[in-house]
Structure 1
Amino acid sequence: MTKQDWTEKYSKKVLTARKAIRKIRRGTRIFLGTGCGVPYHLVQELANHADQMADNEIVHLLTLGDTPSADPQFQTQFRHNSFFISENMREAVTEGRADYTPIMLSDIPRLFRSGKMPVDVAMIQVSPPDEHGYCSLGISVDITKSGAESADIVIAQVNERMPITLGDSFMNVRDIDYLVPFTEPLREFQAAEVDETIDLIGSYVARLIENESTLELGIGALPQAVCNNLMESGVRDLGIHTEMFSDSLIPLIEEGVVTCKKKTLHRGKVIASFAMGSEKLYDYVHDNPLFEFRPSEYVNDPYIIGENNKMVAINSALEVDLTGQVCADSIGHKFYSGIGGQVDFIRGASRSPDGKAIICMQSTAMNGKISRIVPRLSEGAGVVTTRGDVDIIITEFGLASLHGKTIRERVLSLIAIAHPKFRNELLEAAKAMKYVHEDQVPFLSQGTYFASEYETQETFKGPDGPITVHFRLIRPDDTDRIKELFYDLSEESIFFRFLTPLRSLRRQTLQEFYNVDQDRDISIVAVIKPDEEEEAERIIGAGRYLLNRSTNEAEFALLVQDEYQGRGVGTFLLNHLMRIAKSKGVEAFVAYVHPRNQPMIRFLHKTGKIIESRLSMADEEYVFKLNL
């Protein structure tokens, strides 16, 4: 239908912006469409008629760019109330000239429909009506649809540049009171550049994403980094169920990484509620049957989200305390952003079979001056994701899996991914709060415990068939897993490893496993990851070497659970340690073995790397030197 056709057909509803704004009475609540779908022509005209307004509340989820009605000069005419504080609203909220309503995104439509927050006027932006009178809300369905459906008066800017998006995204002209024809470019959103730190965080997220996962992505530098890393990870048949997305999604679709073919809900469809990006993105979603835009009360419903298998929710935080409480909407008393859909998707992903709920943040703020992982949240900081909901926290130093973990385990996991210069300061604070043992050893590593160059995997013949064993650096939060390994060992294995018949594992001995700097001294564990039979990650072997700086030779020791001995795990672990040591310039390995430990002696001879061996009668041990 041409512009002339629809303007003639609905001529009784067609007004100029000036005349439409005059329909708004003083003291009314005005709902404003979201993000790049904000009807800017109407917004500008509203500001132009500020002298006719008084005590008008403007309610919205997220706005971009110039918002003149938020200027101090209009304080008596307009007061903004934001569900999510964007950059252009931050100053007004901080100065008390605007309000912030903290609420989960999925709950906002009910706020409108129940009458708790009645909407007098909705100002929205739509595509031109089709021959049946239906206009598309385009890139902004979210809470815009419920806001418009709940309003007494609906004023729609009809923009020929608004793409027609499919799904539950249409309004009929009969439900719109005034149509304002005005075509202008849609606002575009450009994410911040992906720097090295953000890219590293994105790489850790990508490691957790399996084939056939369904993702919540969002917008900004972090989702871009995740998408960049997914392009290189080799995963396939990903699905999308997200409140919003941007241009970063397009390459994943075009390269066949995102197909939505394996989704368990809305198979073959990208499900979202709004989009923010470039004109290219808006052209891409126009009349594209791959995309279905639906309202927030559906997209953000945790029960709906949880129906997607392998749902991966990716969100961000400003601060996390050592118990796992996540602050995402304020910096102390100062409100910074909002709750948004974080809790909706965290809880939805936790209900999903094999789902993961991920919170990402850089380890420091203020140019590295302060840690974002803190002993306790800043005064005034609000908890968005509770310690009961939290699952995985990621920084550029790795990831901490917190769900179902004790406070002690959480503390060690979170300190391990804090910036190295703050780790022992955090440890001392944790000791003062009795979160960890007083004799907990300091963190020696000055880097990451998740270095990919030390990680590998191999398949072995297990007790009940083939098993895949992962090899990685040991971490301080492996304490309980090492303890489980110890108590699964036979008395003979314990004696030969510790050269004494231990009945229990002292904490000091336990800490020696991971009390290494992971640079000159290296400690590696062999891990079986969770599957349908394994409920938790399990360590079945451990190996380490300690460098003698004066000789440039390293003493090494291995430990493999009895049922996995003789299956090649120990050989692979030793070779892995040797490769690492050789890359660091270590000249040789040295092993001290009890004379009765014949299995270990045979094992060392089978390596073919022994260059020297001798029996020390004084110490009752064999000394073997191995070439790397």
Structure 2
Amino acid sequence: MVNVQDIYNSKKGSVDEVLSVIETGDMIVIAGSANEPFTLLSNIHKLRDKGVTNLRFLSCLGDGKYEYLENDDYKDFAFVDSFFYGSTLRDAFKRERCSFIPSNLHDCARRKGATGQPNVYLGSATPMDKHGYVRTSLSNLYDKYYMETVDKIILEINPNLPVVEGDTEIHISQVSRIVEVNTPIPEMPILEISEVERAIGENIASLINDGDTIQLGIGGIPTAVAYALSDKKDLGIHTEMIHNGILYLIEKGVVNNSKKTLHKGKTVGGFAFGSRELYDFLDRNPSILMLRGDYVNDPYVIAQNDNMVSINTALQVDLTGQVASETIGTMQYSGSGGQSDTAYGAIHAKNGRSIIALKSTTKKGTISTINACLALGSAVTLSRNVVDYIVTEYGIAPMRGCSIKERAESLINIAHPKFREQLREEAKKLNIR
């Protein structure tokens, strides 16, 4: 019988030894969010002293701060392509250290292959079990997909990661090199909810029925939605991100997944990010299924959930219902993520709904987020054809089946009162009717 501990020991090395398998010209895909390999990435810049250069990184939702990215002396050493920007990459973009890949989450990895496939996977995993398996834990957005296609898999083995059930396991024999670390897992603080967010949450809650299955993003508004759903019953979860708002609903007994038509009894997600309390809840919890992003976010799969409700947020919308959620004008702020995936899936589900939420103003109330036209250069994240409701703190604007004239009137009615007359004048001038 093969001794898995012997295999494990043969793969184990120091940080420098493990990184030594990376070569000039490698394309390295990095595990995202809380699964980032922080120790390896904090040391990878040292490879330049050994003659390694021209590395290409592929990331999604990673936001760690590393020497190779923050120090422009390493411009020739590494460049990052990303499916989704956080604050670190927004800063790196300004310094010409990274570029954005437009994509939908469910097929981002497959479509990226058209311009070159990564040959190295760099991530974190749980300690090995007695059968020789480690688990990707908190992220499966594209992790298992790339683990099956790359030439080299390099992992940090971190005991602080929870063992999360689902399609997360990989056998140690498939791993190229490992390094043992004891790195704290990043946490997301519990968000304070503003009165505006609370009002939006309550408006959205009025659109949710007992027994619905929901997808809920992250941020102040989704957290407010979770709190506003506390009196609902028998909700289900099929979402790309499991966070503390979802934990709140599970602990309240609101979510039990008993009415789901797909994966009944299971909370389904593609990655998780939140507090230590959330990570402890996920650990070895048989009610959780962490599945691949190309499955969880496949609109065809999502549509198999009857009563599916997609709840997403936006930066701005126009009076016809077009949704911009990832750019501020021409500046890339975040990414499409799974917004289009979940909206398309929801509108094709039996009794499904696609909801977009946003505050009526930004910049301390000086700018309306509802405008006659989107700001010049804005990317349309979500087509106006797949939005059923747009919600602000001032109410709900129905979109499904509505004409442009009806949409514009409804959206003006939920805009901030001080901008409504201006919007009416602009709509008339631009012949939006």
Q: TM-score band, normalised by the shorter chain?
A: over 0.9
Q: 1:331 aligns with which of 328, 331, 336?
A: 328
| Equivalent in the alignment of 2:37 | 39
Pair 360,434 (structure 1): closer, same or farther in 2 beyond 3 Å:
same
Q: 2:285 aligns with which of 273, 280, 288?
A: 288
Aligned residue for 1:376, secondary structure, equals coil
**Would you say 1:111 and 2:147 are equivalent positions?**
no
Question: Residue 239 of structure 1 contacts residue 262 of structure 1 at CA under 8 Å; is this kept in 2?
Answer: yes
Aligned residue for 1:157, secondary structure, equals strand
Cα offsets for 1:303-352 (capped at 9, x unmatched): 10011111111111111111111111111111111010000000000011
Question: Residue 375 of structure 1 contacts residue 429 of structure 1 at CA under 8 Å; is this kept in 2?
Answer: yes
Cα offsets for 1:192-233 (capped at 9, x unmatched): 4211111111111111110000011122222211111111xx
User: What is the distance in 2 between the residues matched to 1:138 and 1:128?
Assistant: 10
Relative contact order higher in (CA < 8 Å, ≥ 6 apart):
2
Aligned residue for 2:229, secondary structure, equals helix
| Equivalent in the alignment of 1:12 | 10
Pair 23,279 (structure 1): closer, same or farther in 2 beyond 3 Å:
same
| Equivalent in the alignment of 2:243 | 246
Identity %: 36
Provide TM-score, normalisation by structure 2: 0.96
User: What is the distance in 2 between the residues matched to 1:362 and 1:58?
Assistant: 35
For 2:32, the aligned partner's letter is T
Question: Residue 124 of structure 1 contacts residue 148 of structure 1 at CA under 8 Å; is this kept in 2?
Answer: no
User: What is the distance in 2 between the residues matched to 1:151 and 1:9?
Assistant: 20
Q: 2:379 aligns with which of 376, 379, 382?
A: 382
Deviation at 1:361, TM superposition (A): 0.9
| Equivalent in the alignment of 2:26 | 28
User: What is the distance in 2 between the residues matched to 1:392 and 1:67?
Assistant: 41
| Equivalent in the alignment of 1:205 | 204
Alignment of 1:54-453 (within 5 A): 54-71=53-70, 72-111=72-111, 114=113, 116-231=115-230, 234-436=231-433
User: What is the distance in 2 between the residues matched to 1:94 and 1:319?
Assistant: 23
Deviation at 1:67, TM superposition (A): 3.2
Deviation at 1:115, TM superposition (A): 5.6
Count, aligned residues: 429
Pair 66,7 (structure 1): closer, same or farther in 2 beyond 3 Å:
farther
Deviation at 1:6, TM superposition (A): 6.1
User: What is the distance in 2 between the residues matched to 1:6 and 1:174?
Assistant: 8
Aligned residue for 1:151, secondary structure, equals coil
Deviation at 1:121, TM superposition (A): 0.9
Which residues of structure 2 form unaligned runs of 5+? none
User: What is the distance in 1 between the residues matched to 2:39 and 2:214?
Assistant: 34
User: What is the distance in 1 between the residues matched to 2:141 and 2:223?
Assistant: 22
Deviation at 1:251, TM superposition (A): 2.5
User: What is the distance in 1 between the residues matched to 2:379 and 2:389?
Assistant: 19
Deviation at 1:110, TM superposition (A): 1.5
For 1:13, the aligned partner's letter is K
User: What is the distance in 1 between the residues matched to 2:357 and 2:46?
Assistant: 42
User: What is the distance in 2 between the residues matched to 1:216 and 1:94?
Assistant: 33
For 2:344, the aligned partner's letter is R
For 2:103, the aligned partner's letter is I
Question: Residue 206 of structure 1 contacts residue 226 of structure 1 at CA under 8 Å; is this kept in 2?
Answer: yes
For 1:247, the aligned partner's letter is N
Question: Residue 191 of structure 1 contacts residue 221 of structure 1 at CA under 8 Å; is this kept in 2?
Answer: no
User: What is the distance in 1 between the residues matched to 2:313 and 2:248?
Assistant: 23
Provide TM-score, normalisation by structure 1: 0.67
Aligned residue for 1:49, secondary structure, equals helix
Cα offsets for 1:574-596 (capped at 9, x unmatched): xxxxxxxxxxxxxxxxxxxxxxx
Question: Residue 238 of structure 1 contacts residue 262 of structure 1 at CA under 8 Å; is this kept in 2?
Answer: yes
User: What is the distance in 1 between the residues matched to 2:114 and 2:132?
Assistant: 28
User: What is the distance in 2 between the residues matched to 1:171 and 1:276?
Assistant: 21
Question: Residue 314 of structure 1 contacts residue 359 of structure 1 at CA under 8 Å; is this kept in 2?
Answer: yes
User: What is the distance in 1 between the residues matched to 2:106 and 2:335?
Assistant: 13
Of 419-428 and 187-196, deviating more is: 187-196
User: What is the distance in 2 between the residues matched to 1:429 and 1:161?
Assistant: 55
User: What is the distance in 2 between the residues matched to 1:182 and 1:226?
Assistant: 37
Alignment of 1:581-620 (within 5 A): none
Cα offsets for 1:528-571 (capped at 9, x unmatched): xxxxxxxxxxxxxxxxxxxxxxxxxxxxxxxxxxxxxxxxxxxx
Cα offsets for 1:269-308 (capped at 9, x unmatched): 0000100011111111010001000010000000100111
Cα offsets for 1:97-131 (capped at 9, x unmatched): 2110010000123136x564311211011111212
What's the C-alpha RMSD, in Å, of the aligned pairs? 1.5
Aligned residue for 1:129, secondary structure, equals coil
Deviation at 1:8, TM superposition (A): 4.1
Deviation at 1:9, TM superposition (A): 4.2
Aligned residue for 2:397, secondary structure, equals strand
For 1:95, the aligned partner's letter is R
Question: Residue 190 of structure 2 contacts residue 244 of structure 2 at CA under 8 Å; is this kept in 1?
Answer: no
Aligned residue for 1:287, secondary structure, equals coil
User: What is the distance in 1 between the residues matched to 2:242 and 2:127?
Assistant: 24
Pair 7,132 (structure 1): closer, same or farther in 2 beyond 3 Å:
closer
Deviation at 1:262, TM superposition (A): 0.9
Deviation at 1:250, TM superposition (A): 1.9
For 2:158, the aligned partner's letter is N
For 1:15, the aligned partner's letter is G
User: What is the distance in 2 between the residues matched to 1:359 and 1:191?
Assistant: 22
Aligned residue for 1:188, secondary structure, equals coil
For 1:228, the aligned partner's letter is Y
For 1:94, the aligned partner's letter is K
